[in-house]
Amino acid sequence: MSPALVARREEKGFSTRAVHVGSDPDGATNAVIQPISLSTTFKQDAVGVHKGYEYGRSGNPNRDSLERLLASLEAGGAEAIAFSSGSAATATIIQSLGPNSHIVSVSDVYGGTFRYMNRVAAANQGLETTFVDLENASEDEVVAAIRENTKLIWIESPTNPTLKLIDIRRIADIAHTHASAPLVLVDNTFLSPYWSSPLLNGADIVMHSLTKYINGHSDVIMGAAIIPPHRSDVADKLRFLQNAIGAVPSPYDCWLAQRGAKTLQLRMKTHGQNALAVANASQGLGGLSKSPK
């Protein structure tokens, strides 16, 4: 998607995009809610001649609709890739780095990500990870952690579960001016696209566990990666690996996640208002150790 198309798309408000993008009326019936396409195989009019779908692992109408929505909601996004879980997205992204690569990761990264880096990728692709307190590290300390084979800097902000806040723009500027030029990934699960836009702050990849806020109904396990227009090479590599590995979500889960995302703004706005009320009450009471009367 061109930057001009991205800009025009984002003229619409967040909630409008959440409701409408990827939710065009069904062409056959004009139903405003898309049907669930469970077919694994699609008829071809001739060899290689079809309507954009040939096998369910390689593409599905419900997955395409969800991906269009996710790319729209993540400001600065051009392409989204939906995965069968956040862990599947993590594994595919790390595998895309190739053998004997190095990652600089925020020190208190999500436990499942830490496990994959240290116990799976380290053993199977010779990956090394340096864990750095990116909230408090100086520029010199960040630069010192980057090696010639550093392919990725992995950020969560806030981190899971200690809620450290990372200056994404600062880390992205360091990475992109370094000779190794590592990609910068931000796991944006905790804030969602409503509260945070890492791509606008220099990130090259944003990932989510859609299981959490974007779906919002505790009935879907799914992940996603969203890529900006200038990193189409990254999107192509991830989509190729996803198809080869088979880390794809089911059509029904895609349909559910798209339904859930329609209310993302309402839910996240209320979460924020409630959190602010708790913080204000806590401050007024001198801390949570005191109980309100």
The Cα-based distances of 246 to 85, 88, 124, 243 in angstroms read: 12, 10, 18, 5
Edge-first strand order for the sheet with 102-106 is 79-83, 223-227, 205-209, 183-187, 150-156, 102-106, 128-132
**What are the catalytic residues?**
57, 110, 187, 212
- Interatomic CA distance for residues 90 and 223, integer angstroms: 9
pLDDT mean over 271-284: 92
Query: CA-based angle 119:90:187, to the nearest 5?
Result: 120
pLDDT at 126 over 60: yes
pLDDT at 286: 66
| pLDDT, average across residues 127-138 | 98
Give the pLDDT of residue 9.
53
Residues sharing a CB contact under 8 Å with residue 169, sequence separation 6 or more, in sequence order: 201, 202
pLDDT of 142 strictly over 70: yes
Length of the chain equals 293
Cα–Cα distance between 195 and 198 in angstroms, integer? 10
Q: Report d(CA 242, CA 125) in Å as an integer.
A: 17
pLDDT at 12: 84
pLDDT tens-digit series, residues 201-255: 999 999 999 999 999 999 999 999 999 999 999 999 999 999 999 999 999 999 9
pLDDT at 290 over 80: no
Give the confidence band of 27 by pLDDT, cuts at 50, 70, 90.
confident
pLDDT score, position 291? 45
Looking at residue 11, its pLDDT comes to 67
pLDDT greater than 50 at residue 292: no
Percent of the chain with pLDDT strictly greater than 90: 87
